[in-house]
């Protein structure tokens, strides 16, 4: 091998000049070595704003509003204090009202699992004696549909809440707001995935007559459970509180078990409640969701904030709401979930993304905390390295790092929290959501779990609204 020493000499005789285009990784590494690098900021723009609106990306008033919003979100102290029938605690619920997940929806556009769950709820409430009767009622417009999110509530998957269902009552001890969520039914054939057979209805009745009253009594006896503290602990134990909820369920069970024993109910009922908790590793999901709703609502309606305060899917559309943009939903068709399927099922069976459970990602857990929950990849696919990367990516589109939800594997760094619509637009990075997959037909149930993102269109529409609001403001 021969070497052209002239070229080598030239190379070694000149000082190095480095230009870094786009991502800063290379320039950062050179910085650390004491080598100067010119940084050229460059990304392909997701949308083009009007020239006078470009300043939105660096507006100090928006920064301040977002800090206030995320501060409210993290300061919330969601206390789980009771379990009560929905009709007693949810605003504007009548005997023919059915709340559902996601943005507003009518029967005609409802997906299979949403229809399945609504049919099940009508059977459960005794409004219909058969699925056909129930469908006919719904088609005639004899039931009223409304998003859970409009009534201080959230529900996983179809998220259907009917008047007799017991819901968990969460009070924000640091504010005035309340949040509610149904009780988690477990995996497989359950109402929230669109199943509505006899065992589904029977479980709902047992919730109403046994589980709800007993757990409510235990919660009242112990003065409630601090869900922020419990969720922080669960996250340190490998849950991300969306698709892995084992640690949270364990913590909750151990916390209420003594008071449950003392609630005065028959021994067989107490044992049955504890056995249900023992058999349902997902029970904590609904607690995390109610906590998330209480925190997200506390962060809503901060003037000037571009922070997302709701992400929810009704099985047909994905919708977001933004703290500074009032109650308007920005919607687009739900996307398919990439993930692992239960034996016998595949992507062709899957309904598009559905459920209010993305409230967990909205408040900095779920997909945003995957780095702390590597064991979850056995359920949703991918590797522990993917789980780490998902969380790291979210720091690029969020407003803060969570004060309480900290990930040991990241040296106790707080989870990324508070999605900034502007940052999603600027980077093209979408929030990551890890979620369950429902069968697309009514009456079947869960068929898998995986990863999904909100449609970019939701953020683009929201950015346009921010742009218009800004134009009005400065005009």
Give residues in contact with a copy of itself (CB under 8 A).
1-3, 5, 8-9, 12-13, 233, 236-238, 246-247, 249-251, 253-255, 257-259, 261-262, 267-268, 270-272, 274-275, 277-278, 374-375, 383-385, 408-409, 411-412
Which CB atom, from 124 or from 207, has the smaller least distance to a copy of itself?
207
> Minimum CB separation from a copy of itself for residue 34, in Å?
15
Which CB atom, from 12 or from 60, has the smaller least distance to a copy of itself?
12
Which CB atom, from 55 or from 375, has the smaller least distance to a copy of itself?
375
Q: How far is CA 74 from CA 152, 205, 301, in A?
A: 18, 36, 15
What residues contact 220, with CB distance under 8 A and at least 6 apart? 81, 82
> Minimum CB separation from a copy of itself for residue 250, in Å?
3
Which CB atom, from 133 or from 253, has the smaller least distance to a copy of itself?
253
Which CB atom, from 59 or from 269, has the smaller least distance to a copy of itself?
269
Q: How far apart are CA 153 and CA 87, in angstroms?
A: 12
Which CB atom, from 141 or from 258, has the smaller least distance to a copy of itself?
258
> Minimum CB separation from a copy of itself for residue 459, in Å?
32
Q: How far apart are CA 283 and CA 276, in angstroms?
A: 9
Judge whether 79 and 226 are in contact, CB under 8 Å: yes
Length of the chain: 475
Among the listed residues 339, 199, 225, 335, the one whose alpha carbon sits nearest the alpha carbon of residue 283? 225
> Minimum CB separation from a copy of itself for residue 414, in Å?
14
> Minimum CB separation from a copy of itself for residue 76, in Å?
24
**Collapsing DSSP states into helix, strand and coil, what is residue 188?**
coil
Torsion angle, CA of 89/94/97/99, rounded to 10 degrees?
Answer: -10
Q: Is 266 exposed, middle or buried (0-12, 13-18, 19+ CB in 10 A)?
A: exposed
Which CB atom, from 75 or from 237, has the smaller least distance to a copy of itself?
237
Q: How far apart are CA 438 and CA 115, in angstroms?
A: 12
> Minimum CB separation from a copy of itself for residue 39, in Å?
25
Which CB atom, from 58 or from 267, has the smaller least distance to a copy of itself?
267
> Minimum CB separation from a copy of itself for residue 370, in Å?
11
Q: Is 99 exposed, middle or buried (0-12, 13-18, 19+ CB in 10 A)?
A: buried
The residue assigned the tokens 């390295």 is 385
> Minimum CB separation from a copy of itself for residue 246, in Å?
7
- How many other C-beta atoms lie within 10 A of the C-beta of residue 42? 10
């Amino acid at each position: 091998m021969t070497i052209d020493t002239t070229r080598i000499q030239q190379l070694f005789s000149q000082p190095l000049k480095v230009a870094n285009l786009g991502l800063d990784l290379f320039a950062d590494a050179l910085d650390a070595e004491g080598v100067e690098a010119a940084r050229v900021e460059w990304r392909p723009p997701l949308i083009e704003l009007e020239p006078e609106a470009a300043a939105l990306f660096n507006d100090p008033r928006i920064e301040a509003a977002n800090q206030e919003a995320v501060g409210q979100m993290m300061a919330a102290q969601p206390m789980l204090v009771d379990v009560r029938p929905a009709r007693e605690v949810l605003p504007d619920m009548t005997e023919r009202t059915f709340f559902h997940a996601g943005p507003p929806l009518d029967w005609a556009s409802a997906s299979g699992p949403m229809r399945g769950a609504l049919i099940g709820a009508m059977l459960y409430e005794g409004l219909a004696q058969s699925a056909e009767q129930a469908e006919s009622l719904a088609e005639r417009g004899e039931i009223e549909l409304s998003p859970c999110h409009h009534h201080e509530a959230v529900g996983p998957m179809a998220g259907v809440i009917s008047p007799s269902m017991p819901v968990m009552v969460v009070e924000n001890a640091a504010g005035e707001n309340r949040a509610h969520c149904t009780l988690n039914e477990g995996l497989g054939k359950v109402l929230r995935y669109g199943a509505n057979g006899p065992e589904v209805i029977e479980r709902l009745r047992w919730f109403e007559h046994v589980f709800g009253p007993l757990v409510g009594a235990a919660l009242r006896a112990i003065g409630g459970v601090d869900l922020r503290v419990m969720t922080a602990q669960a996250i340190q134990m490998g849950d991300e509180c969306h698709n892995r909820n084992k640690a949270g369920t364990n913590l909750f069970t151990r916390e209420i078990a003594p008071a449950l024993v003392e609630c005065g109910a028959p021994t067989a009922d107490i044992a049955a409640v504890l056995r249900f908790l023992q058999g349902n590793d997902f029970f904590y999901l609904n607690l995390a969701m109610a906590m998330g709703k209480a925190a997200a609502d506390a962060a809503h309606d901060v003037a000037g904030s571009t922070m997302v305060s709701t992400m929810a899917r009704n099985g047909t559309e994905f919708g977001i709401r933004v703290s500074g943009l009032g109650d308007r939903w920005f919607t687009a068709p739900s996307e398919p979930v990439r993930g692992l399927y239960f034996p016998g099922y595949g992507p062709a069976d899957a309904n598009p993304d559905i459920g209010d459970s993305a409230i967990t990602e909205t408040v900095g857990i779920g997909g945003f905390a995957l780095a702390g929950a590597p064991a979850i990849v056995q359920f949703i696919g991918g590797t522990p390295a993917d789980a780490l990367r998902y969380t790291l990516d979210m720091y690029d589109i969020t407003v803060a790092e969570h004060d309480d939800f900290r990930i040991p594997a990241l040296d106790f760094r707080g989870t990324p929290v508070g999605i900034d619509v502007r940052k999603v637009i600027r980077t093209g990075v979408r929030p990551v959501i890890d979620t369950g997959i429902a069968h697309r037909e009514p009456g079947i149930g869960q068929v898998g779990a995986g990863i999904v993102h909100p449609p970019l269109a939701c953020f683009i529409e929201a950015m346009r609204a921010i742009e218009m609001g800004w134009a009005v403001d400065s005009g």
